[in-house]
Amino acid sequence: MSVIVGIDVGGTFTDLAMVAPDGRLRIAKTPTTVENQAFGVLAALEAAEVALGEVDLIVHGTTTTTNAVLERKLSKTGLITTQGFRDVLELGRRTRPQAYGMKGEFRPIIPRDLRLEVPERMDAAGTVLMPLDENAVRAAVADLLGAGCEALVIHFLHAYANPVHELRAAEIAAETWPNAFITVGHGLLSETREFERGVTAAVNASVQPLLDRYVARLRAELAGRGYSGDVLVMNGNGGMVSSSLVSREAAKTVMSGPASGVMAAAYTGRVSGHANLITYDMGGTSTDVALIRDGVAPVSNEIEIEYAMPIHVPMVDVRTVGAGGGSIARVTVAGLLEVGPESAGADPGPICYGRGGMQPTISDANLLLGRLDPEKLAVRGGVSREAVAEVFQRELGDPLGVDAETAAEAVVRLANAKMAGAIRMVSLSMGADPRDFALFAFGGAGPLHAVALARELGVPRVLVPARPGITNALGCVVADLRHDYVRTVNWPLETVELDALHALFAEQAATGAAALAAESVDIRDMRQAFSVDMQFVGQSHVVRVGLADGRPSREALRDGFDAVYWERFRVALDGIEARVVNVNCSVVGELAPVDILALIDPVGRLPEARAQGKRRVVFESGAVEVPVYWRDELPLDCVIAGPAVIEQMDTTILVEPGWQARGDAVGNLILEAGT
Amino acid sequence: MIDPITLSVIQAGLAQVCDEMDLAFSRAAFSPVIAEANDRSDGIYGAEDGSLIAQGAGGLPVFVGTMQASTAHLIRRIASGETPAPKPGDIYIVNDPYLGGTHLMDVRFARPFYRGGEIFCWLSNTGHWPDTGGSVPGGFSASATAVEQEGLRLPPVRLFKEGALDEEIYAIICSNIRVADQRIGDVKAQAAALDVGAARLEALLDRYGDDVVREAIDALRERAETQMRASIDEIADGTYASIAWIDSDGVVNEPLAIRLKVTKTRGHLRFDFGESSPPCQGPMNSVRATTLSSVYLAMRHIFPEVPISAGAFEPLEVTGIAGTFLDAEYPRPVSGCAAEVSQRIAEAVFAAVVQALPGRVTAAPAGTSGNFALGGHDPARGRDFVMYQLSGGGYGGNADHDGLANGCSTIGISKAPPIEIMEQNFPVLYHRYALREGSGGAGKHRGGLGLDYEVELLRGEARASFVMDHGRFGPQGALGGEDGAVNEVEVWQGGVRHVPEHLSKAQDIPLTAGDRVRVKTPGGGGYGDPADRDPALVAEDKRLGRV
């Protein structure tokens, strides 16, 4: 049995999960070190008492690239592009940040003076209209080097149709560029749309040096402590890549944290017999939602990580739906209660954190209602329940004409209604009815709200994994190796050359197999997933059609498209011409399975569930004294009737009246209505 | 009395019903203009007077106030017997601009929602159809002189009767519009969205009870009114005047004036347009519902936190439009009202209110949809094509920062298509797609830059049409800021430069292969005295070639 350590760096905490030599899972949680995340990683390894010499593999999820983009702390990067189009990265797609309010700002990834143009032109079919001016490329490269650029993007119009100019320009640049940080536009995703492809390439280049240095430093630190294995880094597609290769496609690591959480959810769902899940990750500032169908997390090429910042590489489709524990409640001038969208964030955070927050938040409301343990917060240096109640009375209770506790209950009720609405919108937008799913609740605050949301959504069951607070780190341990390939072709369905399509799939699969072979990790099994993106001529949105293999017939394409279109839109459109837009292949290398039952030490489990104490908790139906259990002590097959509270190190689970929690065979708690 | 907490929860519930209708419509629609550009809106309206109860947050801004007007007209016509009364499952279709509409392409569906055999409320939506017939594909004729030239005009008729599509009415529609075979996809989507709304509203009423929801609707309306009154009390009492100019109507080459006096008294704003130009010959007329809606959407840009509701419109009084081009009657052509006149009305509102609320309101944005249409025949593919390039422009400088570059129209929220997609679909080649240097109005905070593009016809022959504005007068600066650069159109025919007589509007300019069109869209107005601009920003603008 190989020893695998998963370490995920989040905004506040660095989490570790480890499959120890004895098959047990060990976990740790340490504060994230913002300046250099490696220190937090090392601290987590120490906290878990990991003997690095015995470790076979470290899998790492990092926010280095995400933070760099969001904070624009990027390496100086230059762009060489088609004459007439250097401003594409700044013009965007003619939008504004919000529908109402004519204000807003946008900072392009590469400033205008570092965006240079060269004569060259391809048409949409990939035919050269104007040859590449190689001397102009040399001059531009020299100018950008002179300006102090560390990374370079070469991005030409229609390079997805014919990359020869981009490749030649990169060759020329490589003659003088002092490092390997050269990104070509078609390199990450060979897809139509110059703004999205260009931004993706620009993000890739401008985070490459940062990620490269970070990974090198981390490897050196680990080597110094006796670790001789490889470090794999999580990608946003839910797969992982060797640290020696990762910076080449650095943009793919953006949003890897949420992706690994979803991978852990999918894995947990598969081993516990829940193939269809809505994942619900509620943290301090935001809540992330994803849909898992048949045990698989959907991947999208169209994620936008903030306003006008599309990163078009395959990423697990995780949607942020706003509210987190820090969302602020207030009463409007119209005398109505509002929750969010403003957030107290992590700093100052909710009042109860005791870091100077003075505005009522969802977390504070949970505290007042007894759903969070006031004593535990007080121990951590938070403020008293009375102080929180005073703010709720003044800010919410008085204007609404109710007491502080009623106001707090209203805040949670409204927040739940809005979150449920947002989750419904996410699932409907993916063509799914939430009632066909189980809710997989994780993150620090997820299990506190999950039952109320499930009731609101008509979801029959909630699944709370053994360690909701370290789900992302678990995702690192259970993830697969993965490479995705996309090529835009725009072939009409009726005339598509099947031989060419099959050859393209075969080429993608072979490239993927070679990429897996280049990794240092032994894989148990390799599989490919083939799909095409299709649309009706005259439409601009595409649907993804999964295929059984890489040699589909024309009928398989047509029938698949009709079926998916019907499932998604409930509209049948006969007689309208369809076309194949993109050809996609994912190549996945599977690692050995992990036993998640070990997430809670069986030694600590008691033969019978025994409440540790009682606490007064306010529900919508009124206040009740409820038993409080400690999760780690619960027998595997426990059955606990609500109302009850189940506490654990990393979260609090609220079992509402009329619901019950029972343990399943792999250590999850399943919450269902009735008995 | 209903408690404020239940009220908040029901408010969220009603908003959710509308958002789900918006989503259902966009997802199922065939046309990219609805599916991708979200040129549609869905809402819930009162049974008695059509007043707006709730409308989806993702709807196109210009529809903020039109659907309640359209629903109100329908209810009145049913009461008077002009339009047959509904049965459960019926859906009316209407696109008549003079009955609470915009241009003909904005097609409205309205479905009565029944509880206990009575109409509880109306569910209505609007979707922009790619074509409704008329003299030019797409409906934006720059030179129409009567509404009949603009397309098929439908009074309210029941397209769906007790749940079934009336094939006879539909056949008439299909015989009068272009690419009719694809329309069924949009019709089904538009009706399905109302079905989704009905199902969700049913669930909401079952949960909270009809009387509670009815009471909540009334209370929410009152509270929205309170909130709007409180908001406008940020404006000091007094009168604020402004003028906004439209280049011409496309037929007569004379500017049209929107003369506005905004008078603030306690909790009340009057928008008096009394001195504005009379109705015009060309299609730059507005209809009453669009004019009101333009005022509402401008106010929503200023106070985005006030929810959309009939109550929020209550304190806003619009006067003096009768007899002007802002309240045109049959048969005046109106195709420019939703995309252009509306934005100039909003500009007049911004220019007046910025004087009183300099912290909230921006200098004038580009304020044109920049509609360039190219229709022709592609000999290589052996088929006709119609291509649209809608483009953005600079936003106005404001108290917080410089204006955004290449922002979407004031009344829209849609993305522009990528150049690569345009070149895949049409026989054209773009030579430039760039920031328009020097176009932002100078100011303490500069106006955003417009767009500068140049496109060549590669094959065959085609005709170019333009419906744009701000060619004669740039977007207004505010508080000492300078105006943004004017819109410029150049057509290069056989190497000879040609500027349209009406500057920003022209119809059917013939092009042959190798001819080019260059468009420079307006920059935003500057905000505050340019002399007060931070020298570091001045230097940066120079270094980055923005000025």
Are A464 and A662 in contact by the 8 Å Cβ rule? The answer is no
- Sites in chain B below the pLDDT cut of 50: none
Interhelix angle for B342-353 vs B288-302, to 10°?
40
> For the segment A417-446, what is each residue's pLDDT rounded down to a tens digit?
989 999 999 998 888 889 899 999 998 889
Residue A314: which pLDDT band, with cuts at 50, 70 and 90? Answer: confident
| φ/ψ of residue B231, rounded to 5 | -65, -50
Q: How confident is the model at residue A1 (pLDDT cuts 50, 70, 90)?
A: low
Look at residue A377 and tell me whether its pLDDT is greater than 90.
Answer: no
What tens digit of pLDDT does each residue of A72-119 get?
899 999 999 999 999 999 999 888 999 999 998 999 999 999 999 999
Do the bridges between strand B268-272 and strand B316-319 make them parallel or antiparallel, or are there none, so unpaired?
Answer: parallel
Which spans in B2-126 are helix H? 4-28, 32-35, 66-80
Do residues A484 and A533 lie in contact, with contact meaning Cβ atoms separated by under 8 Å?
no
Window from A159-163, A182-186, A450-454, A475-479 with minimum mean pLDDT: A475-479
If you ran DSSP here, which 8-state letter would residue B320 be given? S
Phi, psi of B340 (to 5 degrees): -120, -55
Is residue B88 within 8 Å of B98, Cβ to Cβ?
A: no
**pLDDT confidence of residue A381:** 65
The predicted structure's pLDDT at residue A347? 75
Of A104, A194, A571, nearest to B189 by CB-CB distance is A571
Interface check A92 vs B, CB under 8 A:
yes
Give residue A303's pLDDT.
84
SS3 letters for A91-149? HCCCCCCCCCCCCCCCCCCCCHHHEEEECCEECCCCCEEECCCHHHHHHHHHHHHHCCC
- Which of B11, B123, B12, B106 shows the shortest CA–CA distance to B68? B123
Name the more confident of A284 and B67.
Answer: B67
A 136-165 → B contacts, CB under 8 A: 157-158, 160
Q: B246 pairs with which residues across the strands?
A: B256
* pLDDT tens digits for range A440-493: 999 888 999 999 999 999 999 999 999 998 899 999 998 888 888 888 888 999
Helix-, strand-, coil-residue percentages of chain B, each rounded to 5: 30, 25, 45
Q: Are A416 and A369 in contact (CB under 8 A)?
A: no
A237, A283, A386, A591 from A258: Cα distances, Å: 10, 11, 36, 21
Count CB atoms within 10 A of the CB of residue A387: 14
CB A651, CB A468: distance < 8 Å: yes
Q: In the block, which residue shows the tokens 């980055």?
A: B544
Question: Taking CB atoms and an 8 Å limit, are A429 and B23 in contact across chains?
Answer: yes
Contact B435 A90 (CB under 8 A): yes
> In terms of DSSP bridges, do strands A480-492 and A239-242 run parallel, antiparallel, or are they unpaired?
parallel
For the cut 80, the answer to whether the pLDDT of residue A313 exceeds it is: yes
On average, the pLDDT of chain A sits at 91
Residue of B nearest to A535 (CA): B30
- Whether residue A330 lies within 8 A of chain B, CB to CB, comes out as no
Q: Please check whether residue A482 is in contact with residue A238, taking contact to mean a CB–CB distance below 8 angstroms.
A: yes
Q: Which of residues 426-455 of A touch B (CB under 8 A)?
A: 428-429, 431
Residues of A whose CB is below 8 A from B31: 538-539
What is the least distance, in Å, from the CA of B547 to any CA of chain A? 13
Residue of chain A with shortest Cα separation from B417: A93
pLDDT at A216 over 60: yes
pLDDT at A345: 76
pLDDT category, A378, cuts 50, 70, 90?
Answer: low
Residues in chain A: 675
Are the Cβ atoms of B32 and A541 closer than 8 angstroms?
Answer: yes
What are the tens digits of pLDDT across the range A561-581?
A: 999 888 777 677 777 789 999
Nearest to B533 by CA among B463, B473, B453, B477: B477
Using alpha carbons only, how large is chain B's radius of gyration in Å? 23
> Minimal CA–CA distance to A92: which of B391, B442, B371, B343?
B391
Residue B429 φ/ψ region, left for φ over 0, alpha for ψ in the -120 to 50 degree band, beta for the rest: beta
Mapping DSSP to helix (H, G, I), strand (E, B) and coil, where does residue A644 land? strand
In angstroms, how far is CA A644 from the centroid of its own chain?
31
> Which chain A residues touch B454 with a CB distance below 8 Å?
84
pLDDT value at residue A245: 84
Entry field: residues in chain B: 547
Q: How far apart are CA B259 and CA B239, in angstroms?
A: 13
Distance CA B76, CA B82 (A): 9
Contact flag A193-B418 (C-beta cutoff 8 Å): yes
Task: Categorize the per-residue pLDDT at A277 as very low, low, confident or very high, splitting at 50, 70 and 90.
Answer: very high
More confident residue, B286 or A650: B286
Least Cα separation, residue A13 to chain B (angstroms):
33
Contact A124 B390 (CB under 8 A): no
Distance of residue A121 Cα from the nearest chain B Cα, in angstroms: 9
Check B57 against A571: CB less than 8 A apart. Answer: no
State residue A624's pLDDT score.
Answer: 95
Give A160's contacts in chain B (Cβ within 8 Å): 420
Subunit contact B30:A536, Cβ cutoff 8 A: yes
Q: Would you state the structure tokens that stand for residue B265, as one six-digit string?
A: 């008294």
Q: In terms of C-beta density within 10 A (0-12 exposed, 13-18 middle, 19 or more buried), how is residue A54 classed?
A: exposed
